[in-house]
Structure 1
Amino acid sequence: MTEIKRKGSRSTKDIPKEILEQLNNGEIETANLVEWLAVDQRLLLENLLKRTDRTKYLKPILLNIENLKKQTVNTINEAIGTGIFEQVIKNNDTEFLTIISNHKSDLIRCWATYTIGRNPKLNVKEMLENIQPFSADKHFGVREICWLAVRPTISKNLAESLEILSKWTSNEDENIRRFASEATRPRGVWCEHIEELKQHPELGLTILELLKSDKAKYVQDSVGNWLNDASKTQPDFVKNLCEKWKKESLTKETTYIIKKAMRTIEKK
């Protein structure tokens, strides 16, 4: 995927009409969060299905959206991705998975991540292998949605997931390294908490120890946030770990992570 060059508008009302049309047609990627939130996902879906001669998928997927208790960008995103997966299985249409996984629209690629996360035939190892290319996506939206798509499986299979993801910490791609931390945050953002990690954050050391001096700020922020999450239920664990790291890892990267990790504790 090519890097996004447009800066994007600062508010929804400032998005040029032609840009919004292109976004809703799936012709370009969103340039920032404002655009990402402004896309009409129902319209984008309809346009995608028309162009690929799959309009029969539209009604059942829209019904999925209508049945949502709460309609947000993320719940609609998940409902569409899940609905597409259901239609692909029903119609034996694996070609469509390839189309959406490689689509130029970032939101359509987001839908594709749920076709992996909702596939009961995939074991944990297979699911994480399939999601890894999305964790390396050049678009922020796809990177965020892909860990959300598989987090329930990670939570239910925590020990195996942590073992697999610990190997991702040595990947040369900082986005993949960041996924290992972000997908396992005890609390996380826009997602259910992982109770086992809230109570026993030491289980995450298999990932955290390997990232404590990562050169990428993107990764450092995630590790700091991981530990800040843990500090809300197990503050002593975070204090002790940070003291240990201060002695063992005299790098500016670790110092930065410790500062982020301790922010909630130091407010008290």
Structure 2
Amino acid sequence: MVQHLLARRGAARIALIPPEVLEALNAGLVPTVNLNEFLALDLPRLASSVAGHIGLDARSERLVDTLAMLAAFKPLKRHHHIALALYDLAGAHPRPDDVADAIARHPSDIARSWAAQWVGYSGLALPQKLASVRRFAADPHFGVREMAWLAVRDEVVREPSTAITLLDDWVRDSDANIRRFASELTRPHGVWCAPVPALKAEPWLALALLDPLKSDASLYVRNSVANWLNDASRTQPEWVHEVCRRWTRESRTPETAYIARRAQRTLMKKAPD
């Protein structure tokens, strides 16, 4: 049983991770709780464990070949190759929907992150991709939530106007994770991903998504909105200034003041003394 491990605090260094924890992580029995645990994972072993858990053949040539070449790739790219191999195997399974559901519910956050990436491989249109990725956008683990928006980022780059329309309900959702997803997904510059040229040039196109979040109760959401505007300040500084001025006039709350201050942090650094 691993129940007693779920409330643990992550080790300060990889070398300090208890063997019992490392064993459970690599067996796919518990989620990671910090970056050190993520970096300490034995990915081939974890991928093989997850494959067996969800009804796939861990000894299949497709997966074995992928795991053998992982060392040739950078860490994050390794996860892409594993996710794609598992996706291909699931597609050949007689009950692919059962496999997809099993990995989406897996106790390992890494497995669920791979499942989120499957949405990006699906070939679905953006409305269907957003519907499929929603469960991962609301996941309790931060890492899965990050992979959720990355999985559909390319579609936003190609179809920003469509994405903005589809996300209108998301920014009004009661779940802060869903609201934050809509903001983070559409950031003009983004993190570890391609920029959205249309929103770099005309960030006001997404104002309908940002306005409902200008005084959000969640710090998680507020930081994302502030980062969104800080991104936009690189290309449209005056517009960002004006949005922040308007918001602080319309909403005299500490939450709005916080967003406006963080949103303009790069502009303040560039301001003459």
Output the TM-score relative to the length of structure 1: 0.92
Q: Per-residue deviation at 1:79?
A: 1.9
CA distance in 2, matches of 1:194, 1:146: 17
RMSD: 2.1
Paired AA for residue 191 in structure 2: V
Specify every segment of 5 or more residues in structure 2 that has no aligned partner in the other structure, as ranges: none
Paired AA for residue 35 in structure 1: E
Paired AA for residue 6 in structure 1: R
Paired AA for residue 99 in structure 1: A
Contact 1:30–1:36 (8 Å) recurs in 2:
yes
CA distance in 1, matches of 2:61, 2:200: 40
Equivalence for 1:112: 115
Task: Say whether residues 1:144 and 2:141 are aligned partners.
Answer: no
Task: Say whether residues 1:182 and 2:174 are aligned partners.
Answer: no
Q: Per-residue deviation at 1:110?
A: 0.4
CA distance in 1, matches of 2:241, 2:180: 22
Contact 1:198–1:230 (8 Å) recurs in 2:
yes
% identical aligned pairs: 38
Task: Say whether residues 1:253 and 2:255 are aligned partners.
Answer: yes
Could you report, residue by residue, the CA deviation over 1:83-141 in whole angstroms, capped at 9, with x for unpaired residues?
22222223343321111010001000000011112101x22111101111111111111
Equivalence for 2:129: 127
**May I ask how many residue pairs the two structures share in their alignment?**
265
Contact 1:5–1:31 (8 Å) recurs in 2:
no
Moved more, 138-147 or 4-13: 4-13
Equivalence for 1:221: 223
Q: Per-residue deviation at 1:256?
A: 0.4
CA distance in 2, matches of 1:164, 1:109: 24
Give the match's secondary structure for 2:169.
helix
Output the TM-score relative to the length of structure 2: 0.90
**1:38–1:249 distance in 2 versus 1, CA, 3 Å:** same
Moved more, 215-224 or 163-172: 163-172
CA distance in 1, matches of 2:18, 2:39: 15
Give the match's secondary structure for 1:169.
helix
Equivalence for 2:57: 55
Equivalence for 1:264: 266
Specify every segment of 5 or more residues in structure 1 that has no aligned partner in the other structure, as ranges: none
Could you report, residue by residue, the CA deviation over 1:144-199 in whole angstroms, capped at 9, with x for unpaired residues?
11111111122222111111112111111100110010111111211111111111
Q: Per-residue deviation at 1:82?
A: 2.1
Give the match's secondary structure for 2:172.
coil
Could you report, residue by residue, the CA deviation over 1:203-232 in whole angstroms, capped at 9, with x for unpaired residues?
111111111111100000000001111111
Q: Per-residue deviation at 1:61?
A: 3.7
